[in-house]
Amino acid sequence: MTETLQWREPGKTLSDGSRFKDWRKIEDSGTWHWQYDTHEMTFAIYEHDGQYWKFYQLRWVPEGGDGYAYGYGGQACRAVLVSYRRRTRSPHSSRLMMAGDLEWIRTYEFDAALHEVVKAGEENAKYGAPYGPKQSAA
């Protein structure tokens, strides 16, 4: 299954040979979340190759530093934007979601009983189904 793309050269190229600068950013969460007593994390959604991808970005203050250093998480995950059908715990973020709340989740986290699709990538031979339990292309 092709649900993730790893960095070939962090911040520059990915395992499918694409250049990150050619990807189109469509949404930026705009919120930094404290993680593990060491760094903060945010995410942005990019469109590439007919799919939506979630990239995590990290920031931290190096020991003895007076400003932030930045980096990316280890991979991009295929994502789908969903609306929650009812009040429930998110399978992605573990947050309590209300009916109608929107969230970008990983494609394989989609559950038709909990989610209604708002935005998804295209189904194709390279990636397979854009979300849900159907098997992706090899």
pLDDT > 90? residue 125: no
When the pLDDT of each residue in the chain is averaged and rounded to a whole number, the result is 91
Query: And the tokens for 50?
Result: 């007919």
- In single-letter form, the type of residue at position 7 comes to W
For tokens 């194709």, the residue is 124
Euclidean distance between the first and the last CA atom of the chain, given in angstroms as a whole number? 5
- The answer to whether residue 51 scores a pLDDT higher than 70 is yes
Euclidean distance between CA atoms 119 and 115, whole angstroms: 12
Pairing of the two strands 4-9 and 69-84: antiparallel
pTM of the model: 0.86
> Is the predicted pLDDT of residue 122 greater than 80, yes or no?
yes
